[in-house]
Structure formats: structure tokens, C-alpha cells
Amino acid sequence: MLRILLTASALNLLLILPLWWRSGTLGSPLIAWEAWVIAPAILLLPPGFWRRVVGVGVVSIMALATAANLGEAATYTAFGRPLNLYLDVPLVRSIYHLLVGNVGQLAAVCLMLIGGVLLLMLLWGLLRLLLPATHLRLGRWSGKLALAVLGLAMCLSLLEFHGSRLVPNTTLPMVNTARSQWEQVVETHRARQAFTEQLEENPLAVQALPGLAGRNVLLTFIESYGVSALNDPRYNRTLLLTLEDINRRLAENDLHVVSGLVESPIQGGQSWLAHATTLSGRWIDNQLWYRLMLESDHSTMIDDFRATGQRTLSVMPAITLAWPEGRAYGFDEIAAAKDIPYAGPPLNWVTMPDQFTLDYTQRELLGNSPLFAQLALISSHAPWTPVLPVLENWSLVGDGSIYAPWENAGDPPEVIWRDLERIRDHYAWSVDYSVSVTGRWAERVADEQTLLIVLGDHQPAPLITGEDASAAVPVHIISGDPALLAKFKQRGFVDGMLPPLARPQDAPHMSQLRHWLQQDFGPSAPSPRTTP
């Protein structure tokens, strides 16, 4: 009796713990029927080769199901969406690099080794429970009890599977995981075929933008800058004051700004999907779509601006490895981390502060010829520590060595991330820093011949935004020529740095930005009248 209860309870706990993490509720669900089927069934088998084969096979399947459910919980926590094995397996490499950026390579490798050892110990313990030296004999009362538990659990499992739950707070985690992942595989495969056909049959043509000929167009993404930073009282006390200050400073420099919202295809991470959506004019919300788009002959905003006569540039301070995607996009020049002579310290995951990136771009990369540039800022990327001050005197930025005192400033990520409220505070401060330095940079680079487009790449993870938050992100369009902003106002943008926040769920897709530029500044559009 004790052996059955101990074994079944251990298996039950293994199967339901990931579900508690996913739901955020301890004790719900409470019973995983598969555990109460597996434990008595294997304990009743006579010792021998086939019992060992069955035991190893069952433990392996349980380990896969548990890993999938842990992945489901982690994916929802990080990205606010369910796990899709068809799409998400390639993200394992990105998770490793994120871990290296936060805790260092040695610590990351040690953590992964520790995780591997713990997994092997867990599997070994399960096998010891399921494969004792003896077995339960049907002729004894313990064997009869095991058979009764097995029969009852099987009956209740079948009823649960067909939607008739007689016992509350129960589930079939292994069955449900296998079924949901298979359904996603089938659905995603069909969607892949449809997306591929769409790329082939309905391509977006390259289109010159004469309304922007001879001008600098600077597309600048701010990491994790979502609408929650502006409409959530936990964060907007700081950021609303910052936007007001930027409004004032821009006006003092005869610069104009309009703001709106667009919906990002992702939340919590995978910024490159937001970049791809904006550049391509297609809704790219997963890694497979991203790869298919890049492997196709699909045109992007880069092609549009090259046809207009601009030099094209990508500034990517977070890229520390080979980046074949940059070549696939066709940028004339790419400034990744290794190409930027930063002499300061790395700041956890952040390779260099945003103010340094912006200052270096202005000093060394903009040049004199008309330019289209994509910049991906990173100071507001998790773990959001340390938070840097804005240097009012930009001449102090130099080669970045001024940031040396902040290398170990404040608490490290592993300390801050023990307290949810501290995480949220650091998120707000980090985004405020990135928005502040971008606003001050706008004073330095924007003029009548410049269109500066500043937008968030995505909302942060649900632990920051809360459940069911809108995926909208702010967009700020800045120029010294108000005629360049008129078309955006016709599309619902409003004057100033504060976008309309009443209905963020109705924001247009981020992919529309390329279409707007083609429609409003293309050959058929009236040329914006430059102010004298």
C-alpha cells in the first residue's frame, strides 16, 4: 500500500508542478490521472527485461511531457503565449546566449550542467520507485489493491479524456500536452504552407519613396517599450514626465513630433520578429515565418530606401555573433557589437549603453549622404540593471570608458529578480533612461531633412504588464519639417510625445508602417511640402 501511494504521489507531483507554475495557482489541478495508472501498472509487472524496457520508456515519456509543460510555463511567463514545439525549439540557443549575457559563460555552463545532473537524478529516482527488486503479486492484498487503483484510475482517465470529469481538480497532463502539441504541429504546418504561398503569390513590390528622397530616415527601436509603460500607474509616473520634458525640449529646438500606437507581433522577447515585421510589411510573429521571409526574395523597407537613393545602415549593438540575417536583408553597412569601438564595461546582458550607441552613430556612422538606418537600442532589455544616468554633456560619452563605475553598480540580477516589485521598478527606470536619451538624441540629429521614427519593439513579459495586456507599442515621429508628419496625423497620430491611449487594443499592426510609407511618400503621393 505504502509503495503504491509513494510512487503514484511522486509521479503525480512531477506532472502537476509545471501546471501550477503555468496557472500561478498552487493545488490546481491536484490529481494527474496518468500517475495513478502508471504506478500500479508497472509495479504489477514481474521483474525482468521487459519490465525494465517498459519502465525506461514510461519514464522517458513522462520526462518529455514534463519538459514540454515546463517549457509551456516558461514560454508563457516570458512571451505571454503557449509553447509551440514546431516553432520554439530553435529558441534554445537564444536562451543560452541570454543566460550567458546575464550571468557569464562559466556560470551559464555550470547552471546548465547542474540542471542536467538534477534531471538525471530525477529520472534515476523515478526508475528506482517504479522498478523495485520485487513486484506486487495479484494473489496478495497489496496486488489486489494495486489492481483496484489501476482500474479506477483508468476509468476516470477515460471519462476525463472524453470530457466527463467526475472528480474535481483533476487533469491528464501527458495526454493534454501530446494532444495540444500535435494540434499545433498540424495547424502550424498548414499555416506555413499558406504563408509560403502568400510570399510567392502576393509579394510586396519594391517602391521608391520620392517624398523622402534626399532625407535621412532613422528607424529607432527602443527595447521593451510597450504601451504599459504609459498607461500602467506602476510605470507612467516617471515616463509621462519624461515625455513632457522631451516635448518641451523638441519645441525649443523647432522640432515637431506626432505619436501613435501600433501592435507588435510579439511580447516579452524575440525583438528580431518586430524588426522583421516593420521592415518587411508582413506580420512575422514566429521564428519559422522569419526564416521563410529571409530565405525568400521578399522585398523590405531597405530595398525601398535603396531605390530612393539612400545608403542603408543597421546599428545592432546586441549582435555579438555572426548575423547572416543582416546580409539577407541587404544593408549596405552593418555595425554590430564587434564593429563599434566601445571601451566601457558590459552591463550584464547589455553590451553598451544606449547613449553611447546613439552618440557613436551620430559621430561616426551618419555621414553626409542621405541615409536609411535601423537602430536597435538595448539598455531597457532585461535584467534592467544597472540603471544609468543620462549624461547631459554628450562630449563626456567619448569611447564609453566613462561607464566603468557602473560595471558593478547596484544589486546584480540574481538579487533584484527575487523581488517582483524591484523588477518592476528597474523596468520603469530602464525604459525611462532609453526614452530620455533617445529624446535628447533627437535634438541633436533631427532637422528639416530628417524623419526620425522611434518605436518600441514589444511589450515586456506578462510579469511586468499583467495578464492579457495589449501588445501595442508607442511610435513617435520627429522632424524639423511638419509637412512630413501631416500624413501620420491623418492616420490617427496626435501632436506631442504622448500617443492616444484610450483603446490600445485597436492599434494597427506594426507591419502597416512600410505600407504607410509607400502610400504617403511613394510616386503616387503628393510630395510633402518642405517648410522654408
Which of 46-50, 55-59, 84-88, 160-164 has the lowest average pLDDT?
84-88
pLDDT at position 105 is 63
Residue 384: the pLDDT is 87
Total Cβ atoms within 10 A of residue 297: 7
229 and 306 in a single domain? The answer is yes
184 and 226 in a common domain? no
pLDDT of residue 104: 59
> Is residue 530 included in any domain, yes or no?
no
Tell which wins on pLDDT, 314 or 190.
314
Residues 372 and 474 in one domain: yes
User: For cell 495557482, what's the residue?
Assistant: 25
- Are 134 and 256 contained in the same domain? no
Residues 6+ apart with CB under 8 A from 342: 317, 351, 352, 356, 360, 399, 400
Per-residue pLDDT at 174:
83
Given this model, what pLDDT does residue 462 score? Answer: 84
- pLDDT, average across residues 13-25: 77
- Count of structural domains, the chain: 2
What angle is formed at CA 442 by the lines to CA 435 and CA 385, rounded to 5 degrees? 25
Task: State which of 174, 189, 204 marks the end of a domain.
Answer: 189
Question: Whole domain around residue 176: which residue ranges?
Answer: 2-189
What's the first-to-final CA gap in the chain, in angstroms?
90
What pLDDT shows up at residue 137?
A: 58
> What pLDDT shows up at residue 169?
79
Tens digit of each residue's pLDDT (9 = 90 or more) over 362-411: 999 998 889 999 999 999 998 888 889 999 999 999 999 999 888 877 77
The verdict on residue 306 lying in a domain is: yes
Average pLDDT over residues 489-499: 94
E-strand spans in 19-116? 31-32
Inform me whether the pLDDT recorded for 238 exceeds 50.
yes
201 in a structural domain: no
Task: Residue 256: give its domain's CATH number.
Answer: 3.40.720.10
pLDDT in tens, 428-458: 999 999 999 999 999 999 999 999 999 999 9
Q: What is the pTM of this model?
A: 0.74
Q: Which 3 state secondary structure label does DSSP give 318?
A: coil
Q: What is the DSSP string of 211-266?
A: GGTTSEEEEEEETT--THHHH-HHHHHHHHHHHHHHHHHHHHTT-EEEEEEEE-S-
Together in a domain, 159 and 101: yes
CB-CB contact of 275 with 458 (8 Å): no
Give the residue from 37, 13, 41 showing the smallest Cα distance to 27: 13
527 is a domain residue: no
Q: What is the pLDDT of residues 202-234, one digit of tens each?
A: 677 889 999 999 999 999 999 999 999 999 998
465 and 384 inside one domain: yes
539577407: which residue's cell?
328
Based on the domain organization, do 183 and 224 belong to the same domain?
Answer: no
Maximum mean pLDDT: which of 49-58, 168-177, 339-348, 511-520: 511-520
What string of DSSP letters covers 193-207? HHHHHHHHHSPPPP-
What is the percent of the chain with per-residue pLDDT over 70, rounded to a whole number?
Answer: 87
> Which pLDDT belongs to residue 314?
94
| Confidence at residue 531, expressed as pLDDT on a 0 to 100 scale | 39
Residues 186, 81: Cα–Cα separation, whole Å: 18
pLDDT band at 521 (very low <50, low <70, confident <90, very high): very high
Predicted pLDDT at 530: 44
423 and 287 in a single domain? The answer is: yes
**In this predicted model, what pLDDT tens digit does every residue of 283-308 receive, in sequence order?**
988 877 788 778 777 889 999 999 99
Same domain, 276 and 398: yes
Residue 128 and residue 10 share a domain: yes
Q: Which range (113-117, 225-229, 333-337, 490-494) has the least confidence?
A: 113-117
pLDDT of residue 532 exceeding 50, the answer is no
- Return the bridge partners of 482, or none: none
Q: Are residues 171 and 294 in the same domain?
A: no
Asked if residue 213 belongs to a domain, the reply is no
Q: Where are the alpha helices (DSSP H) in 281-383?
A: 287-295, 301-308, 324-329, 354-360
Backbone angles phi, psi at 164, to 5 degrees: -110, 95
Is 104 inside a domain boundary? Answer: yes
Per cent of the chain over pLDDT 90 is: 40
pLDDT, tens only, 168-179: 878 888 888 888
Average pLDDT score over residue span 101-111: 62
Residues 36 and 130 in one domain: yes
